Amino acid sequence: MAELRLVLVTPEKTLFDRPVASIKVPLFDGSAGFYPGRAPLVGRMGIGELRLVGPSGEAESYFVDGGFVQVKGPIVSVLTNAAVPCVDISRKAAASKLAEAQAERASTDEEYRGVARRLEKARRMLALAGKD
Protein backbone atom coordinates (compact mmCIF):
# COMPACT_ATOMS: atom_id res chain seq x y z
CA MET A 1 0.00 0.00 0.00
CA ALA A 2 1.23 3.51 -0.82
CA GLU A 3 2.04 5.72 2.13
CA LEU A 4 2.24 9.39 2.83
CA ARG A 5 5.12 10.89 4.74
CA LEU A 6 4.32 13.89 6.97
CA VAL A 7 7.08 16.38 7.72
CA LEU A 8 5.94 18.85 10.42
CA VAL A 9 8.24 21.88 10.81
CA THR A 10 8.12 24.95 13.09
CA PRO A 11 10.63 27.83 13.08
CA GLU A 12 12.46 26.18 15.98
CA LYS A 13 12.71 22.58 14.77
CA THR A 14 11.37 19.68 12.75
CA LEU A 15 8.79 18.11 15.08
CA PHE A 16 8.62 14.88 13.12
CA ASP A 17 9.10 13.19 9.80
CA ARG A 18 7.15 9.92 9.67
CA PRO A 19 4.75 7.80 7.63
CA VAL A 20 1.01 8.37 7.97
CA ALA A 21 -2.11 6.92 6.36
CA SER A 22 -4.00 10.24 6.05
CA ILE A 23 -3.81 13.89 7.05
CA LYS A 24 -6.36 16.67 7.51
CA VAL A 25 -5.19 20.30 7.77
CA PRO A 26 -7.00 23.60 8.36
CA LEU A 27 -6.68 25.93 5.40
CA PHE A 28 -7.33 29.67 5.59
CA ASP A 29 -10.62 29.13 3.74
CA GLY A 30 -11.66 25.64 4.87
CA SER A 31 -9.84 22.37 5.30
CA ALA A 32 -8.19 19.72 3.15
CA GLY A 33 -7.54 16.03 3.56
CA PHE A 34 -4.70 14.11 1.99
CA TYR A 35 -4.42 10.43 1.14
CA PRO A 36 -1.78 8.55 -0.87
CA GLY A 37 -1.87 9.45 -4.56
CA ARG A 38 -2.96 13.06 -4.01
CA ALA A 39 -2.21 15.57 -6.74
CA PRO A 40 0.49 18.16 -5.94
CA LEU A 41 -0.69 21.17 -3.96
CA VAL A 42 0.59 24.22 -2.12
CA GLY A 43 -1.82 25.90 0.28
CA ARG A 44 -1.96 28.54 2.98
CA MET A 45 -3.02 27.09 6.31
CA GLY A 46 -5.28 28.65 8.88
CA ILE A 47 -5.53 28.20 12.63
CA GLY A 48 -6.96 24.93 13.91
CA GLU A 49 -6.54 21.18 14.08
CA LEU A 50 -4.05 19.14 12.10
CA ARG A 51 -5.28 15.55 12.36
CA LEU A 52 -3.25 12.58 11.25
CA VAL A 53 -3.92 8.87 11.18
CA GLY A 54 -0.89 6.62 11.48
CA PRO A 55 -0.27 3.52 9.37
CA SER A 56 -1.79 1.26 12.03
CA GLY A 57 -4.91 3.44 12.51
CA GLU A 58 -3.95 5.49 15.57
CA ALA A 59 -5.11 9.13 15.37
CA GLU A 60 -3.30 12.22 16.66
CA SER A 61 -4.33 15.88 16.70
CA TYR A 62 -2.21 19.02 16.85
CA PHE A 63 -3.19 22.66 17.22
CA VAL A 64 -1.44 24.57 14.43
CA ASP A 65 -1.07 28.32 14.05
CA GLY A 66 -1.19 29.07 10.33
CA GLY A 67 1.60 28.38 7.86
CA PHE A 68 1.81 26.48 4.60
CA VAL A 69 1.25 22.93 3.37
CA GLN A 70 2.89 21.37 0.33
CA VAL A 71 2.04 18.01 -1.21
CA LYS A 72 4.68 16.69 -3.58
CA GLY A 73 4.50 13.02 -4.42
CA PRO A 74 4.17 10.97 -1.22
CA ILE A 75 5.55 13.80 0.98
CA VAL A 76 3.31 16.29 2.78
CA SER A 77 5.31 19.14 4.28
CA VAL A 78 3.64 21.37 6.87
CA LEU A 79 5.42 24.57 7.88
CA THR A 80 3.67 26.29 10.79
CA ASN A 81 4.35 28.96 13.41
CA ALA A 82 3.46 26.55 16.21
CA ALA A 83 2.23 22.97 16.62
CA VAL A 84 1.03 21.69 20.00
CA PRO A 85 -0.45 18.24 20.66
CA CYS A 86 -4.11 18.82 21.55
CA VAL A 87 -3.79 16.60 24.63
CA ASP A 88 -1.21 19.08 25.98
CA ILE A 89 -3.50 22.11 25.73
CA SER A 90 -4.89 23.16 29.10
CA ARG A 91 -8.54 24.18 29.10
CA LYS A 92 -7.91 26.75 31.83
CA ALA A 93 -4.99 28.32 29.96
CA ALA A 94 -6.99 28.45 26.71
CA ALA A 95 -9.97 30.03 28.50
CA SER A 96 -7.64 32.59 30.08
CA LYS A 97 -6.19 33.50 26.67
CA LEU A 98 -9.71 33.91 25.30
CA ALA A 99 -10.68 36.22 28.17
CA GLU A 100 -7.54 38.31 27.59
CA ALA A 101 -8.27 38.59 23.87
CA GLN A 102 -11.89 39.57 24.55
CA ALA A 103 -10.73 42.33 26.91
CA GLU A 104 -8.46 43.92 24.28
CA ARG A 105 -9.65 47.04 22.48
CA ALA A 106 -8.45 48.24 19.10
CA SER A 107 -8.31 51.79 17.80
CA THR A 108 -6.81 51.21 14.34
CA ASP A 109 -7.49 48.75 11.54
CA GLU A 110 -4.13 47.05 12.13
CA GLU A 111 -4.84 46.64 15.85
CA TYR A 112 -8.31 45.31 15.01
CA ARG A 113 -6.83 42.62 12.73
CA GLY A 114 -4.40 41.59 15.48
CA VAL A 115 -7.17 41.35 18.08
CA ALA A 116 -9.39 39.38 15.67
CA ARG A 117 -6.55 36.91 15.02
CA ARG A 118 -5.87 36.45 18.75
CA LEU A 119 -9.60 35.88 19.35
CA GLU A 120 -9.80 33.27 16.58
CA LYS A 121 -6.68 31.53 17.85
CA ALA A 122 -7.95 31.45 21.46
CA ARG A 123 -11.39 30.17 20.44
CA ARG A 124 -9.99 27.36 18.32
CA MET A 125 -7.45 26.43 20.98
CA LEU A 126 -10.22 26.23 23.59
CA ALA A 127 -12.29 24.05 21.27
CA LEU A 128 -9.37 21.61 20.93
CA ALA A 129 -8.21 21.72 24.57
CA GLY A 130 -7.74 18.27 26.01
CA LYS A 131 -7.48 18.73 29.77
CA ASP A 132 -7.88 21.12 32.71
Average pLDDT over residues 13-30: 94
What is the pTM assigned to this prediction?
Answer: 0.87
Question: pLDDT at residue 1 above 90?
Answer: no
Neighbours of 38 (CB within 10 A): 17
Average pLDDT over residues 39-66: 94
Question: pLDDT at residue 2 above 70?
Answer: no
Task: Return mean pLDDT, the chain.
Answer: 92
pLDDT of residue 132: 43
Q: Which residues of 101-120 are buried (b: 16+ CB within 10 A; e: fewer)?
A: beeeeeeeeeeeeebeebbe
pLDDT of residue 17: 95
